[in-house]
């Protein structure tokens, strides 16, 4: 997600991993929850809930955390844009998300949230090939079928 300008309101929700390492708020009976505005009109939320480590339930052993991170942004204004970014501007390539974001950051256009939106092949011969569909600017770059 790229922010240009300042005035925005919350509209779009994405429940996924977010490229931010932020703390968690106070825990309640359903787990921990934290939220904050990370840019004008862009809200980040993190929920952590314990899940049983075994199918029999929490009474049989320790629990494991289930972490959901949510970004909510207003896409009805021109100041916010949800835009795909590819490694080295190629569909079939792999690069750390931080390097991809550094490449598209300018004074007028800067990322405030990033979502790793696909899985990809790790083997050397096809490294970086997306497993899912990839569409950019209305053009199909990769069809998984």
DSSP string, 9-62: ---EEEES--S-------EETTEEEEEEEEETTEEEEEEEEEEESSTT-GGGS-
Mean pLDDT of 126-144: 79
Q: Is residue 139 part of a domain?
A: no
Do residues 130 and 94 lie in contact, with contact meaning Cβ atoms separated by under 8 Å? no
Check residue 124 and give its pLDDT. Answer: 77
Q: Would you say residue 132 lies in a domain?
A: no
Residue 103 clears pLDDT 60, i.e. is over it: yes
pLDDT tens per residue, range 36-68: 999 888 999 999 988 877 766 656 667 788 899
Task: Report yes or no on 144 lying in a domain.
Answer: no
Count of domains observed in the chain: 1
124 part of a folded domain: no
How many Å apart are CA 6 and CA 79, to the nearest integer? Answer: 6
CB atoms within 10 A of CB 53: 13
The verdict on residue 61 lying in a domain is yes
Residue 133 falls within a domain, yes or no? no
pTM for the full model?
A: 0.58
Q: Domain span at residue 112?
A: 1-118
- Measured in whole angstroms, the distance separating CA 2 from the mean position of its chain's CA atoms is 12
Q: Which of 36-50, 77-91, 112-126 has the highest mean pLDDT?
A: 36-50
Identify whether 114 is part of a domain. yes
Distance CA 29, CA 57 (A): 16
Mean confidence (pLDDT) of the chain: 73
Least confident of 39-53, 80-94, 105-119: 80-94
100 alpha-carbon distance from chain centroid:
13
pLDDT at 61: 64
With pLDDT > 90 as the criterion, what percentage of the chain qualifies?
15
- Residue 12 belongs to some domain of the structure: yes
Q: Which residues contact 25 (CB under 8 A, 6 or more apart)?
A: 32, 33, 34, 35
């Amino acid at each position: 997600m790229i922010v240009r300008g300042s005035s925005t309101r919350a509209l779009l929700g994405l429940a996924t991993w977010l490229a931010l390492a932020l703390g968690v708020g106070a825990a309640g009976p359903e787990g921990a929850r934290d939220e904050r505005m990370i840019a004008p009109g862009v809200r980040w939320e993190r929920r952590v809930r314990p899940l049983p480590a075994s199918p029999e339930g929490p009474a049989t052993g320790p629990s494991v955390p289930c972490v959901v991170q949510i970004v909510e942004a207003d896409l009805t204004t021109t100041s916010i844009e949800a835009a795909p970014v590819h490694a080295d501007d190629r569909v079939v390539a792999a690069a750390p998300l931080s390097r991809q974001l550094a490449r598209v950051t300018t004074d007028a256009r800067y990322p405030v949230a990033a979502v790793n939106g696909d899985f990809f092949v790790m083997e050397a011969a096809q490294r970086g090939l997306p497993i899912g569909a990839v569409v950019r600017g209305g053009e199909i770059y990769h069809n998984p079928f």
